[in-house]
Chains A and B, each alone.
Chain A
Amino acid sequence: MARRVSTTHKLVTTVAAWIVGFVIFFPILWMMLASFKTELEAFAIPPSFLFFHWTTENYAAVQERSDYLHHAINSIVIAGGSTLIALLIAIPAAWSMAFAPTKRTRDVLLWMLSTKMMPPVGVLVPIYLLYRTFGLLDSRGGLIIVLCLGNLPIVVWMLFTYFKEIPRDILEAARMDGATVGRELIYVLTPMALPGIASTLLLNVILAWNEAFWTLNLSTSAAAPLTVFIASYSSPEGLFWAKLSAASTLAIAPILVLGWFSQRQLVRGLTFGAVK
């Protein structure tokens, strides 16, 4: 861990990292800037970067529609609901796979992950028809079900890798100390697995929030989350770049804030499995 790194090396890598980060962030930055331009400026060629007439008229126009809140609440309910239900199913499943594995466990895990490899469009028609029959179209419950099941493989897999990290002898020490299975769960396993569960939860809230395919196809107005809100700005009358940008910025704002405050957990969640 104590490799001698020269200052030039550190400088070069830092600058390079900042450049890469900026390039990746640039589209979002551009979009945020566009949201403050007038419609005319947004279309201008050559495009202006910072020196234009800043205006909040787009945000006012978006607010006029007065259904941002409705869509935002739908997004929160659907993202949160599907993640929580997925966790409820996945925690016992990952537990049994990590601590009571059988010969079949690996096969089950790989099969589960393989369902994620199929493009969702392949099952769009059957699911649409099913939902129509059961009256689940344009319902929050319906969207929660499809998002929960869609993300379940990832949740189970992530929790499985976290539970496997917990050293067996610490749990055995708890047993020697007189803990029953339930108390072992509460006092030892859960506190040790909590960072892992938190990372999984955050990552899945983000995945569910961004899910556009199912939400666009299975909802129209009542259960429509923010993805539909953004899409509604691409109308046949043409693309209203500035207003679209404003709507998009508002749509991603909550999740950007969440991601910012939990970035350490997220990075840990995404890289932890790779280390061991």
Chain B
Amino acid sequence: MGRITLEGVRKSFGKYAVIHDANLDIEDGSFVVFVGPSGCGKTTLLRLIAGLEDITAGRILIDGTNVVGVPPAKRGLSMVFQSYALYPHMSVRGNIGFGLKMAGLPRDEIKRRVEAAAATLNLTQYLDRRPRELSGGQRQRVAIGRAIVREPKAFLFDEPLSNLDAALRVRRR
């Protein structure tokens, strides 16, 4: 569950090649960090794994299955965006539960899971607020809650700490 392998992955935007032949094997349960100067392709690589960009060449295997061409919805991954990308017209409860709603889970199961995730992240008193009524740290927790509640095979975090102040950042690390 959650083993990701990249084989000969290449990505070009037109003539401009961003990823040149990436090979990576990530074991299930391991924790991998991409670091590098800006513009080197970290976010692109993450988006290729997520399925938000199309690959130019190569294979991406999740648990041994090639997912190239498979839409992001069906890859079983969760992503936390740098801007959190919360749904502004839904409450915190709606945001966290959206993925479960898309998966067709019954209403009480969704409620149970959302409340459990909110309890873990100290968000219970904010469940009925809208994203615009939350602070940066709270929004980040909602984004994380949205990702963990679906119990995906793997988590993808795109620069998750860059919007927080230094003290909070150290605590999260």
Contacts of A169 in B (CB 8 A): 81, 83, 85
- B99 CB within 8 Å of chain A: yes
- B32 CB within 8 Å of chain A: no
- A183 CB within 8 Å of chain B: yes
Q: When A172-B52, A192-B88, A192-B89 are in contact, do A179 and B102 touch as well, CB less than 8 Å?
A: yes
Contacts of A179 in B (CB 8 A): 73, 98, 102
| Closest-CB distance, B51 to chain A (whole angstroms) | 8
A residues lining the B interface (CB < 8 Å): 167, 169-170, 172-180, 183, 187-188, 191-192
| Closest-CB distance, A190 to chain B (whole angstroms) | 10
Can you name the residue of chain A whose Cβ is closest to the Cβ of B88? A192
Contacts of B117 in A (CB 8 A): none
Can you name the residue of chain B whose Cβ is closest to the Cβ of A175? B72
Q: How far is the CA of A96 from the CA of B134 in the complex (A)?
A: 33
- Mask, B53-86, CB within 8 Å of A = 1, is 0000000000000000001111001110101011
In-complex Cβ contact of A177 among B51, B52, B83, B150 (8 A): B150
| B98–A176 CB distance below 8 A | no
In-complex Cβ contact of A167 among B71, B83, B102 (8 A): B83
**Central interface residue in B77, B86, B99, B103, by most chain A CB within 10 Å:** B99
| A183–B102 CB distance below 8 A | yes
The 9 closest A-B pairs by CB, nearest first: A177-B99, A178-B102, A173-B85, A169-B85, A178-B73, A191-B89, A175-B72, A176-B79, A170-B85
Contacts of A167 in B (CB 8 A): 83, 85
B residues lining the A interface (CB < 8 Å): 50-52, 71-74, 77-79, 81, 83, 85-89, 98-99, 102-103, 146, 150
Can you name the residue of chain A whose Cβ is closest to the Cβ of B99? A177
Contacts of B102 in A (CB 8 A): 177-179, 183
| A176–B83 CB distance below 8 A | no
Can you name the residue of chain B whose Cβ is closest to the Cβ of A168? B85
Contacts of A192 in B (CB 8 A): 87-89
Contacts of A174 in B (CB 8 A): 87, 98
Can you name the residue of chain B whose Cβ is closest to the Cβ of A180? B73
Q: How far is the CA of A177 from the CA of B79 in the complex (A)?
A: 9
| Closest-CB distance, B83 to chain A (whole angstroms) | 6
Contacts of B51 in A (CB 8 A): 175
Contacts of A187 in B (CB 8 A): 98
Can you name the residue of chain B whose Cβ is closest to the Cβ of A178? B102
| B89–A176 CB distance below 8 A | no
| A176–B87 CB distance below 8 A | no
Can you name the residue of chain B whose Cβ is closest to the Cβ of A179? B102
In-complex Cβ contact of B50 among A170, A176, A183 (8 A): A176
Q: How far is the CA of A209 from the CA of B51 in the complex (A)?
A: 47
Known: A176-B79, A178-B74. 7 other contacts (CB 8 A): A170-B86, A175-B52, A175-B71, A176-B73, A176-B99, A178-B150, A179-B98
Contacts of A173 in B (CB 8 A): 79, 81, 85-87, 146
| B146–A177 CB distance below 8 A | yes
Q: How far is the CA of A183 from the CA of B77 in the complex (A)?
A: 18
Q: How far is the CA of A178 from the CA of B79 in the complex (A)?
A: 11
Q: How far is the CA of A177 from the CA of B102 in the complex (A)?
A: 7
Can you name the residue of chain A whose Cβ is closest to the Cβ of B103? A178
Contacts of A188 in B (CB 8 A): 87
Contacts of A183 in B (CB 8 A): 102
Contacts of B88 in A (CB 8 A): 170, 192
